[in-house]
Amino acid sequence: MRDEVVSSVLDGEVLVLTINNPPVNALSNAVRTQLQAAVLAARSEHAVAGIVITGAGKCFSAGADIRELGGERTHPWTGEVATTIETSTKPVVVAIHGHALGGGLEIALGAHYRITEPSARFALPEVRLGLLPGGGGTQRLPRLVGAGQAVRMMMSGDSISAGDAAEIGLVDAISDKGTLVDRAKEQVRKMAAAGILRRTCDATALSDTAASLKQVDEVWKKLEGKAKRQVAPARIADAVRAAALHSLDDGLAVEAVGFAECMASPQRQGLIHAFLAEKRATHSPVNAPGRDIRSVAVIGGGTMGSGIVAALLNAGFEVMMMERDETSLAAGKERVSAIFQRSIKSGRLDETGVACALRRFAGSTCYSDIATADLVIEAAFEDMNVKKAIFSELDRVCKQGAILATNTSYLDVNEIAASVCRSSDVIGLHFFSPAHVMKLLEVVAAEATAPDVIATGFELAKKLGKTPVLAGVCDGFIGNRILYVFREAANFLMEDGASPYEIDEALEEFGFAMGPFRTADLTGGDIGWATRQRKAANRDPHARYVRIADALCERGWFGQKAGRGYYRYDEPGRGLCDPDVLEIIERERKERGVRARRFSGQEIVDRYLAAMVNEAAKILDDGIALRPSDIDVTMVLGYGFPRWKGGPLKYADMEGLPGILKNIRTFATDDPLFWKPAPLLLFLVEEGKCFEDLNRKEKKHA
């Protein structure tokens, strides 16, 4: 007999079925098979008056086993199990703690009564995997809570609390902690004695068909343009409309067709890849526990420093901000306060929570005040001399065992580590702005960094609710190194004939939140200008260099903050195309003897993505990233790569590496230096392999 993943215990006349499939009670085939068999068997067992279904461990169930999705769909499907429960001739009560997500919640929706612990959370997050709830959720949830509430939950994939679930009618009762299963048994006995079966299919929240359809249309109208281009949201809307219009069986048929379409979509492949890639990335790359971190000092109260302070306070740490003088410290503290005020305004935090966080926040201008910090994060000006001076002070005052981290976005962490006696305690923690919002954290391991310091970086990321990605030391680590290259590809396209506006449009149509030129205007052209000037002395004289960005910066056209950059910002919004910029581009082309040509949207995407993929392959060749999917995580979470395409290397696998390499070889005829194919890319194509083949190998930091 397969391992028992659903246990059955008869307590008096109540049969208690417990799902026990660690770590999250995913609905594997074994769980679905054993659960359905137990419910069916109970029908003919006279000793059984009714059934309680609950979960062992930390949650009720996290839904379908995501690792099984994409493979052959085996019976009994989740929806079949939910229907078996709903049509049971004896009352079935589910007792929910932790999470009831996806198929886990759909199982609960098939039950006749739902009771939960106060801390439980509920969601149908399938849309985040490119799917719709395929286990009856699109039909049963609207019948319980109404079309509007149901379609909002399914379109966002967000979870709701037990209190909110009770309020909208998703759950029927909330038990005190520790009495959940007893309360559920009591409920079974009551329903059995009264001969009550409350089938969800009979619930009446959809009784007003016209109102229900209107609610679905209202939610659909508010969706972002991109969501409308995705498959799953549209199919969710169709399925909920069917729930309002048809019987349960007919509605389930519409759901099944929609689910099959989503399963066949490349978006489902991309989104599931993105989910699994993030989980893989968060695994610590070293076999060592991290150090205990309670108090953290942040050097610098600028945009990054204040964002990092807010992230640490939100995660419950004691935080000391250090600045060079009282005026700068006051400004830094004000930035932190402004972040929290915005969180209160948006409803993300309440006054009490903020007051509690700020009680753990202090400031100082004296290094001696951070001597006892467990971790110091330097977030000062991006200048090597400034950083070395700070690390010299930290080396002098910090306690033994303190971890000294730099937030630098591209400077040499090996050089910083070598400047102090305790090099093995030095690490890079590259946060992305705004640091209290962006999920990505590049954990940059210098050659000297100790394994337990790397482990601490990964544990810190998890506590901050961020996704860590291990990076080696090079200019730009993973993300910024790729950013520099695909920005160059965009600049070459611009000089060769495409306007910045056509390039942005093509890439935003591909799915980027913002094209490279709109992004440059947002972040500020002066930053890139300073980088180019920094690199000028060491620039390869044979490397192509486009001067257009410099020409704009020389005029002070730094982007949004200057009122103009590639676009004009005469009024709030996404900016207007600027004929003066096109004139400057024309002039630069003439000076360079470039004969402009037209580029289609596909040609723009092909060049931009080929540059990204080729540089990512070089990063893997150089050992800067552990695996291809870590690069996908970096580009999706940190640089706006469309999540439903999985990331640049997942996209490359799905497009086919031979085609990518063919493009690179074609582009190399004009510029063999920039378009030199990465050795790894050549190897994979020759071997008929893909980047995914490298993801399957478990990798540890050497």
Residues making contact with ligand T1G (CB under 6 A): 23-24, 26, 62-67, 78, 99, 101-103, 106, 125-126, 129, 131, 133-135, 137, 279
Cis peptide before 91 (omega within 30 of 0): no
Residue number with CB closer to ligand T1G (67 or 214): 67
Report in angstroms how near the CB of residue 110 gets to ligand T1G at its nearest: 12
Report in angstroms how near the CB of residue 26 gets to ligand T1G at its nearest: 4
Report in angstroms how near the CB of residue 332 gets to ligand T1G at its nearest: 32
Report in angstroms how near the CB of residue 628 gets to ligand T1G at its nearest: 17
Residue number with CB closer to ligand T1G (133 or 648): 133
Task: Judge whether 581 and 536 are in contact, CB under 8 Å.
Answer: no
- The closest residue (CB) to ligand T1G is 102
Q: What angle do CA 671, 675, 679 make, to 5 degrees?
A: 145
Residues in a beta bridge with 122? 100, 160
Residue number with CB closer to ligand T1G (99 or 518): 99
d(C-alpha 702, C-alpha 694), whole Å: 16
Half-sphere exposure of 32 (CA within 13 A, CB side): 24
Q: How far is CA 559 from CA 174, 295, 506, 563, 574, in A?
A: 53, 38, 20, 6, 11
Q: How many CB atoms lie within 10 A of CB 596?
A: 15
Residue 334 bears catalytic tag: no
Among residues 106, 378, 488, 508, the one annotated as catalytic is 106
Q: Crossing angle of helices 479-496/628-639, nearest 10°? A: 70
Q: How far is CA 179 from CA 175, 183, 421, 432, 477, in A?
A: 6, 6, 56, 44, 51
Report in angstroms how near the CB of residue 78 gets to ligand T1G at its nearest: 4
Task: Judge whether 361 and 301 are in contact, CB under 8 Å.
Answer: no
Which residues in 187-202 are b (16+ Cβ under 10 Å) and which e?
bbbebbeeeebebbbe
Residue 106 bears catalytic tag: yes
Report in angstroms how near the CB of residue 62 gets to ligand T1G at its nearest: 4
Residue number with CB closer to ligand T1G (24 or 39): 24
Report in angstroms how near the CB of residue 23 gets to ligand T1G at its nearest: 5
Task: Judge whether 652 and 609 are in contact, CB under 8 Å.
Answer: yes
Task: Judge whether 477 and 623 are in contact, CB under 8 Å.
Answer: no
Q: How far is CA 225 from CA 8, 229, 379, 575, 647, in A?
A: 48, 7, 37, 18, 20
Among residues 86, 117, 126, 502, the one annotated as catalytic is 126
Residue number with CB closer to ligand T1G (23 or 225): 23
Q: Whose structure tokens read 């195309």?
A: 577
CA-closest candidate to residue 428, choices 469, 396, 386: 469
- Which tokens belong to 638? 């940190």
Q: Which residues are catalytic?
A: 106, 126
